[in-house]
Chains A and B, each alone.
Chain A
Amino acid sequence: MGFLHRHRNLTPYLLLAPGLLYLALFFVVPLCFLAYQSLESGTFDIGYSFTWAWGNYWDAIHNYRDQFIRSLEYAGIATILALVFAYPLAYWIAFRGGRWKNLLLLFIVAPFFVTYLIRTLAWETILADEGPVVGFLRSIGILDDDGRLLATGTAVVAGITYNFFPFMALPLYVSLEQIDERLIEAAQDLYASKWKAFLRVTLPLSLPGVVAGTLLTFIPAAGDFINAQLLGSSQNHMIGNVIQSKFLELTDYPAAAAMSFVLMAAILLMVAFYARLVGTEKLTG
């Protein structure tokens, strides 16, 4: 009998140890450092000292309320748009894709293969003032003659929607694909209209995908700063822009750390609220 056999109850811990230690050291410990830093006071030049400076949190919320609200707002709108756009597409691939399903999924994943920054720059080209989209919207009068898309909230939301679209579409597809089509046929045999069968059978059964997709889109979108930086103006800056510049340009570490935690708390609150709304068992799958 081998060592592993005699100590069967130890085996899982041996398997876990390297990975969990790594995560403890480079995920949990850094978060503790960040928490510690968020309660320090002082400046980069004279040095920081730990003073239980809860005021950092108050300042973060008070001074950057607009950016916090804008982050949640942009991320929320982009998540809803992505859900509305992605659901029919995922539905079509799952139920009409036949044996080409996997190949069609490639179209959804393909944007991931172009570096995030490069595809955001491509949107800059598409939405540019001289570009076809602005020209078209101007000619049909939706935009004024000097109206623009770049450097507006619309462009930022459009960029976020596009960049996180696969995070929404893939979980939707997975949950739609697992639905037993006989259940839908049964509903129709029992005289449900196609629409009613969708509302009462397909939609509820795809809810786990809706929940997973919404969270996977909303969480990274709320912390994003690339779209606001490249497609927006300083009027459209999100909290990610502020955190980024405080850390890397202004070296105001305690304020930036406090903001990071406020961002996490805001996201957790919204996720918890959402979990109450749809039921926790759907959240953990």
Chain B
Amino acid sequence: MSSVPLAEHAPRESLASRLWAFVKRHVLTVYAWLAFVYLMLPIAIVIAFSFNNPAGRFNYVWSGFTLDNWKNWDGVPGLSSAMFLSLEIAALASVAATVLGTLIALALVRYGFFGRSATNFLIFLPLSTPEIVLGASLLTLFLNTTIVFGFWTILIAHVMFCISFAVVTVKARLIGFDRHLEEAAMDLGANELTTFRKVTLPLIAPAILASLLLCFAISIDDFVVTYFNAGSEVTFPLFVWGAARVGAPPQVNVFGTVIFMVAVLGMVANVLVQMRRERSVA
């Protein structure tokens, strides 16, 4: 029978072809995990070097594990006050930009009005202007006034570049919004303000929260625009910049690690809550 030798050959062939099929099927998966490693690599370095015990001034070469940097986190003059200033600016800027941005988003999504496309364009422009031009133009404005560079100029700048992000974020959520709910509230005798407070606001609350978080993240990380308009004030990124020239202390890594951990824990919690909610709905 000719089928017997064929059957003997079959397993070897199918092993090779199965291996090939496995590679073909999983090459994308392998690539994706390699890409994640690439994205995480510098973060791992930042975290690892927060435990480094640098031999000289420069924290670039691994020379021993220590917890000193974490115990002595406030041991570098100016670092924690720079961090505090960054948090303060980010909190104020994200609230101001989200309020202004939400109002613009409401107008853009809800109403057809003269100048709508011009408004869209004006919102789009700061997003497509390089940061260095935003920073430089504000610098020339402030130079021509009597405003003293410092806290207020930083805050003004941060609100400015956050507004467009706030508009875009809130607008994206508003577009899928069911207006019948508001009409129902009005039909039941609520006036516009009550409707806004009791119906609209709770419904767009997730969008507002998303905008607050995005603006906070962008503000706390901003270097370029702040560098142009900070005067003698020092935010956290400015501190890192100044320190990098003479050798950044490992405490900078400690602060970077803490920001990263807080942000990631917040995001993971948010994602898990969303997943649970989706499952309970389904």
A118 touches B256 (CB 8 A): yes
Residues in B with CB closer than 8 Å to A4 are 192
Report the Cα distance A113→B262, complex, angstroms.
9
Smallest CB–CB gap between A18 and chain B, Å?
6
Residue on A with the closest CB to B100?
Answer: A19
Smallest CB–CB gap between A189 and chain B, Å?
20
Which residues of chain B from 18 to 59 have a CB within 8 Å of any chain A CB? 28-29, 31-32, 35-36, 38-43, 45-46, 49
Size class of B's contact patch?
35 or more
Residues in A with CB closer than 8 Å to B39 are 107-108, 110-111, 162, 165
Smallest CB–CB gap between A213 and chain B, Å?
14
Partner among B103, B256, B268 whose Cβ is within 8 Å of the Cβ of A19: B103
Which residues of chain B from 228 to 272 have a CB within 8 Å of any chain A CB? 228, 236-237, 240-241, 244, 248, 252-253, 256, 259-260, 263-264, 267-268, 271
Residues in A with CB closer than 8 Å to B263 are 113
Given A115-B237, A126-B42, A219-B130, CB of A18 within 8 Å of CB of B100: yes
Report the Cα distance A20→B43, complex, angstroms.
38
Which of A12, A92, A116, A222 has the most chain B CB atoms inside 10 A of its CB? A12
A260 touches B137 (CB 8 A): yes
Residues in A with CB closer than 8 Å to B49 are 122, 125
- List residues of chain A with CB under 8 Å of any chain B CB: 2, 4-5, 9, 11-13, 15-16, 18-20, 22-23, 26-31, 33-34, 36-37, 85, 88-89, 91-93, 96, 99, 102-103, 106-119, 121-126, 128, 130, 162, 165, 215, 219-220, 222-226, 230, 240, 243-244, 247-248, 253, 256-257, 260, 263-264, 267, 271
Across the A-B interface, the 6 shortest Cβ-Cβ residue pairs? A223-B130, A122-B42, A30-B137, A19-B100, A12-B111, A15-B107
